[in-house]
Structure 1
Amino acid sequence: MRRLVLLSLLLFLSACTLTLEVVYPGHRISGLRTQSTYCTSGNTRVDFAFNLEGRLDRLEFFWLPEGLTPDQARPEERYVLYGLLQAGGVKGWLEVTPSGEVQAASLVAPRGLALKPQGIIVEPLPERRLWLRGYTGGLPGPYVPAANRVYPDSSPYCDPTW
């Protein structure tokens, strides 16, 4: 009887596992918002703002047609800034072409480098949404979509700034 209880206890303990989770002091991006339009006749500086808790050492931007997710981004729809960014309200802009290429980005502190233009693709211009993904210590955070869509503006006097 004693052996049966001991054997049952051993079987029960062998089915249990111990999970240890190490959490790196990370970050949280919230309240991402952008201006409401972008120009179809030329490049646009799309203004954005978000709140940051913690710190980042890398920030990825994804300028995507509405309905797509960051894993579906074409290379020209992505942009990365490197540099330490501390907590607080962050503001900046992306320079985008009508076809969706991100050519430059700027924040209050770090600067972006211009990408080589990839050429013009003729297609209907979609509504777009900005997505961000921050990194702390090389570890990626979640993808964060902007709260609003950005609509194409084909008027001759397009001025989409905030």
Structure 2
Amino acid sequence: MDPSTLDAFDAVNVIGRYFQFCDAKDFDGMRGLWTDVVSVDYGGVFPLEGQVEADALKRTMSELLGMIPLTQHMVTTPVVDVEKDSATVRFHLEALHHHPGLGADTSATDWTLYARDVIGLRRTPHGWKVASETLRVVHQTGNTDFVSDLARLAAE
């Protein structure tokens, strides 16, 4: 296998693990996939932006995503560019979020986010690590106030 093909495969595999860990609520696993500082821009749907220490990102992910009983992140059409020790993976993301404590029907309990995502990776002695993520929302269905409703629920 050509080295660049293997690098592309490995980079996509990191993305797959990232969202599998997210849905399994394995925040230690997620932390293991990040560089020590990650540049993040979640397009306004997540309360972090800029250069974030990985441990702070893990803490915020576990606080927010940990309260959601069901998430399912589906990654499609990944395209990988590799240049030396950097890789960029562009893909479409569909992310379902469900919390039965937010109401009696799916207009309150469910939020599906459709986005274009770009994850930058850096080669390390321990393999590819996520160094950046930029999420651009293209469409949403269900409860578009889901994140703020979760914060309200947590405060109650």
Q: Give the TM-score of the pair, scaled to structure 2.
A: 0.29
By percentage of residues, which structure has more helix? 2
Identify which of structures 1 and 2 has the higher relative contact order when contacts are C-alpha pairs closer than 8 Å and 6+ apart. 1
- Larger of the two Rg values belongs to structure: 1
